[in-house]
Structure 1
């Protein structure tokens, strides 16, 4: 593309080279409509430039030229690297005090409409917040045009989003084409011969009005009216339809207020800047509207009748009234978090999308939960006569609320940019690796626990994270290439090359998916991490197991007035709430188990040594949890009974009040192994695997022959065991007398009676008493 710069120096040409379909030149009509520069480049691409004269160059070190790099072969040429900075860049040419505007275009075709809609939506939400604030006093704000130009441009953009829109223009045209009117009486002097019907006022004027003409003698004698003369003209009135109504005066007043603000902005903005160009366009647009014949027939208002039904209800008038009510606040609201959005005329649409999503999520969560009004009011701050919006990247915001249901009440906290500190040890909240900061976090825990820290330490809180990704087109394309299939060596190489190229361009897509995994895996008590993006795709998140959370995924949320996207997300949040209300859910069970396992600190070196087998149940290859696997420690009077146990595959316990009877506790019923101790021995090594879960009651007389006892009891508890000793413990011997449970029984009973009392211990406890070879 060759650009003529004769207005700077005769014959000067700037040549820009780039990849195909990355250089554009828009029409003058589009320049006026969108307020963009005529020369347009595409973000994420690199361009070479060169002036036709070596003495001409872009000013080095200028803040305006941050995307320009000089060549080592001459400063009159170099490269332009816009990266992701979308918007207008005014490149400064050295020694000519001239700025060359270029527009960096987003790769997304919808960015123009998205940018305008999101800015308008944020403006509307902010002004709504201000109007909702319950203040005990009335505040008076005045627009200060002497503040720094960046803040002024930010406020100008707020106002521009209100009035420089197709909806606002259509509202004015509706008013002009179908205005509200009123009937008025118009006074005029009319020739008496043209009056067709006389009223009482006209008749009186026949006698009193001057400028008279004489009637002929015959006329007044014959008619006997007694009038010898009549006026040639009399005063007459007629009804006319007028557009000079109170409502139309307000419309004109509102447009003049808009014009006054934009004109003052234009004066204050820097010469040759994008802001000055945009304000000039808006001034021209409003002036064109006011110069219509319609508004020339309307006088200035003496009062504003804002309670007029026409202003509040009629199409066209209603929209202008709404814009005017928001304008006064938008012109005075300062948003320090918008620095990246408005700085130097760039349109950081990705950041704007993140801010817009905050308000979208806040609206959604406010519909599902009862968020404390005080939390919402804290978004708007009034300090030293200045209104400001407390929403800024890197600054955490937390809003608390509750969810009430007949079966269970929940506390919730909606956080923006909450920081989860790195290196946190259990059970402290945060990340156990590096510090992570999701865009949005929804935290949910039972109402009975009032403090977030207590909920964290008892594993009863769950975090759901969301990240805004404006540049993502289709999240599920990120995983479709490798899903349910093995890539060939050539396909794998192509995929690696593609990812390497994306990393160089700064558009590596897979990092969005990996970041969600990082949130889920590193931040303690995370139930899910999800991408929010304005593209295409399905709204079906991936489930880690059988329930909705834990999981990963993405939701489409486009910046438009269609609430369909929001409803998908709302349905998902309601499903999460349903999962929390279910006290028997897998998520709840897992949380309780995690707390139970980790609540006590243990020394890993003194529990399970190298003798612990990989699979406790070697036949089923089933990995059992040592702390939850129980071993019954029973007593055998003689070797003959051991033979009986093996032959019959049964072991029996007493079921009376005598010493040696078995108490049916949970760990007894759930036992998987039986360890037999014999009289006169301090150790035991005979371990049998239980075949059935829990004992059965059998009459003593029904026991098979061969069981030796001094006195047969009426009833016994019998458990089925394997007929051969288990090899799961590799023939290990255990000093059962070192078991705490055995010591407790012995201390409560004398030595003789304590010997036969059965009890149950965990595998972990049993392994502590294992004899070393």
Structure 2
């Protein structure tokens, strides 16, 4: 291929098979050669890479990456001055790329204009070309207009409208000879008696006596079906308006963009040609110019074909002025980045789904659009958030739906919000917490639940996303070295789930047909997985996502869920610094894991003498006073849920003690009389809390310790040393002395 205006030839060679190509594919690498060393291609870091080796011909590497569309190659001389340029098409590997790209662009254009129509009347909008708009802004507007008008929906609406037009009866006055009148009407009879010029009535005519003379010609009215209706005049006006606006925009764009968007210009020119051809249809030849806007017409608002034209006209007035901050990411310089466009499209689809489940505090337009400047703020990497509320299922929730929320990394100590490793920024995040609690409190108290989503356009199947369940790990390593690792997205979801505090789920959204969900336990959350969401007007897969959102809300509202219980204990556990327990304890009892020492409670009871100890060993009971006298025991959690009883007596404060097990599910209340019947040697109080006790198993590691009670928090000294109390085993182990 030759650069225009020069004799310089460019050859592009596929690195995969060494064949000369006229166009490129995304994600592939190519070598290029020029037939001279006096010129080279302008370098684009990582994309156009000229060789540094001195050769007879200039050469280098082309790596379009994810770029799709018209790729501009600029020829420069040795002083880096531009000499010429040409465009090479970069094709997508996805077969449905073009149709999906157009469908997404149409959806976004429609969504943006719908948002603006809520606050701006199209009848008040007058398009004036912005002479200060740059070529990028104009390109965005033209792409929006192309998305609105270039699809099959609008074309089909025009076809249906012309095939089944709105018509009305019209009355036409014609001058005819008297003998052509037929059956005379009252109006004809009046003309017979008075119309001029007249001529004598023929002799012998039945009317000779009544009318000596008759008019030679009379006016006769006739009714006929006509398409010249206010609604059809409006349609004609709309098409003419489209042509005028597109023409002015395209003319200014052509002078500004300097040919950097050849495909866009061709598409707009084709659209203009289609409209011009439509206006030449015989249908419009019988339609007069519009004299007033029939916006209240039932036909315009309800009849198929007309309804779509009215909607397109309303949207067109807005789209011709709209600027999109993220548009450059999608189509600057003629590229068609459907991956970025898919990310934006998914945002709007999720916004629709979230809007159906939650009530927004304010319309999304206030977060997404600058109404004064007609600018869409949505841009990859820029944080956009809409807040709302949920009422139902016994709980009111605050809700935030975020695009590009950054969770800062390396945050301070728990419970600060963010990622405890590096900063992470999921594409979309849904955060829920109880109403009446501010967001900081919700984070600090484990009351918030985050669910994240990432958009992945360039995959078509779950296999590409997550691999298979029986992947060979050695094969995984091979894929990693080749940069074709299939589990990368799965690991990224794990990273979101594990690193971002209070994250309950992370999911990929991709344009496929299958979804999958992995649950950590038997509940929906915590979970990972993928949802299929595709630009398909018939079934885009959004039903499964909406159902998932409702299930997430149900799980968060469920005060009895394990997720709720886990979040409560996470807050409780990490609210304090634990005491280390580095001494031997049992691991398993009766085949079950033992309760951690922080949740295992021990009662400390005083032995009044040898006869008291003997009674305890014989009866396997121990009693505490249950009155308001000194030495009585309050029935707290540490008391009622005690697992062990540590007996100690005179001279055993710093060493000694005897540890017993506590049986049953709590104490019983005995009267002094009943306790005396059981042989208790010191009945004095009216009532006692009585625990059933037993000797520890011989292999229990706790049998190997004496106890220094002075080291146990809560233990008294002197006369206070005999007072009963409960303590966690982790606290008691501070006084454990190995024998």
> After superposition, what is the alpha-carbon deviation per residue over 1:465-523, rounded to whole angstroms, capped at 9, x for unaligned?
11111123223664453x3x5x6xxx44333323332x1xxx54422111111111111
Partners of 2:214 and 2:364 lie apart in 1 by 85
Output aligned runs, 1:52-451, within 5 Å.
53-54=35-36, 59-61=41-43, 66-67=47-48, 69=50, 72=53, 73=55, 75=57, 77-93=59-75, 99-133=85-119, 142-144=128-130, 146-202=132-188, 218-219=203-204, 223-224=208-209, 227=212, 231=216, 233-267=217-251, 268-269=253-254, 270-272=257-259, 273-274=261-262, 275-374=264-363, 376-383=365-372, 386-405=373-392, 407-425=394-412, 426-449=414-437, 451=438
Deviation of 1:93 after TM superposition, in Å, equals 5.0
Partners of 2:680 and 2:171 lie apart in 1 by 127
Partners of 1:377 and 1:234 lie apart in 2 by 67
| Secondary structure class of the residue paired with 1:144 | coil
Indicate the residue corresponding to 2:535 in structure 1: 559
> After superposition, what is the alpha-carbon deviation per residue over 1:211-258, rounded to whole angstroms, capped at 9, x for unaligned?
777776x44699445546763x54444333222221111111111111
Deviation of 1:119 after TM superposition, in Å, equals 1.6
Indicate the residue corresponding to 1:669 in structure 2: 640
Partners of 1:626 and 1:423 lie apart in 2 by 31
RMSD: 3.7
Partners of 1:355 and 1:395 lie apart in 2 by 12
Partners of 1:101 and 1:296 lie apart in 2 by 42
Residue 662 of structure 2 corresponds to residue 690 of structure 1? yes
In the alignment of these two chains, the number of paired residues is 725
Partners of 1:99 and 1:471 lie apart in 2 by 30
Deviation of 1:464 after TM superposition, in Å, equals 1.2
Output aligned runs, 1:12-31, within 5 Å.
14=11, 16-17=13-14
Partners of 2:323 and 2:511 lie apart in 1 by 27
Indicate the residue corresponding to 1:680 in structure 2: 651
| Secondary structure class of the residue paired with 2:342 | helix
Partners of 1:671 and 1:81 lie apart in 2 by 70
Inter-CA distance 724–299: structure 2 relative to 1 (3 Å threshold): closer
Inter-CA distance 109–575: structure 2 relative to 1 (3 Å threshold): same
Whether contact under 8 Å (2:464, 2:486) holds in the other structure is no
Residue 517 of structure 2 corresponds to residue 531 of structure 1? no
Gaps of 5+ in 1: 25-38
Inter-CA distance 404–179: structure 2 relative to 1 (3 Å threshold): same
Partners of 2:556 and 2:290 lie apart in 1 by 59
Partners of 2:283 and 2:682 lie apart in 1 by 119
Indicate the residue corresponding to 2:27 in structure 1: 44
> After superposition, what is the alpha-carbon deviation per residue over 1:622-675, rounded to whole angstroms, capped at 9, x for unaligned?
353232211111222345654665566554445566655543321112112221
Partners of 2:270 and 2:321 lie apart in 1 by 21
Which of 532, 541, 547 is the equivalent residue of 2:517?
541
> After superposition, what is the alpha-carbon deviation per residue over 1:548-574, rounded to whole angstroms, capped at 9, x for unaligned?
111111111222334662221122122
> After superposition, what is the alpha-carbon deviation per residue over 1:290-341, rounded to whole angstroms, capped at 9, x for unaligned?
2222223322211111111111111111111100000000111111122201
> After superposition, what is the alpha-carbon deviation per residue over 1:139-169, rounded to whole angstroms, capped at 9, x for unaligned?
8764425510111110111111111011111
Whether contact under 8 Å (2:646, 2:659) holds in the other structure is yes
| Secondary structure class of the residue paired with 1:104 | strand
Whether contact under 8 Å (2:106, 2:151) holds in the other structure is no
Partners of 1:654 and 1:549 lie apart in 2 by 47
Inter-CA distance 81–477: structure 2 relative to 1 (3 Å threshold): closer
Question: Which moves more between the two structures, 701-710 or 236-245?
Answer: 701-710
Whether contact under 8 Å (1:214, 1:229) holds in the other structure is yes
| Secondary structure class of the residue paired with 2:159 | helix
Whether contact under 8 Å (2:12, 2:20) holds in the other structure is no
Question: Which moves more between the two structures, 568-577 or 707-716?
Answer: 707-716
Residue 692 of structure 2 corresponds to residue 719 of structure 1? yes
| Secondary structure class of the residue paired with 1:247 | helix
Inter-CA distance 79–11: structure 2 relative to 1 (3 Å threshold): closer
Whether contact under 8 Å (1:676, 1:684) holds in the other structure is no
Whether contact under 8 Å (1:616, 1:729) holds in the other structure is no
Whether contact under 8 Å (2:644, 2:661) holds in the other structure is yes
Residue 708 of structure 2 corresponds to residue 735 of structure 1? yes
| Secondary structure class of the residue paired with 2:530 | strand
Question: Which moves more between the two structures, 689-698 or 255-264?
Answer: 689-698
Deviation of 1:47 after TM superposition, in Å, equals 2.9
- Give the structure-1-normalised TM-score: 0.84
Inter-CA distance 337–756: structure 2 relative to 1 (3 Å threshold): same
Partners of 1:6 and 1:405 lie apart in 2 by 66
- Give the structure-2-normalised TM-score: 0.88
> After superposition, what is the alpha-carbon deviation per residue over 1:707-735, rounded to whole angstroms, capped at 9, x for unaligned?
67245888761313235567323623322
Whether contact under 8 Å (1:617, 1:624) holds in the other structure is no
| Secondary structure class of the residue paired with 1:613 | coil
Whether contact under 8 Å (2:604, 2:645) holds in the other structure is yes
Deviation of 1:678 after TM superposition, in Å, equals 2.0
Partners of 1:516 and 1:531 lie apart in 2 by 8
Partners of 1:554 and 1:676 lie apart in 2 by 58
Deviation of 1:613 after TM superposition, in Å, equals 2.3
Inter-CA distance 130–16: structure 2 relative to 1 (3 Å threshold): same
Partners of 1:290 and 1:202 lie apart in 2 by 40
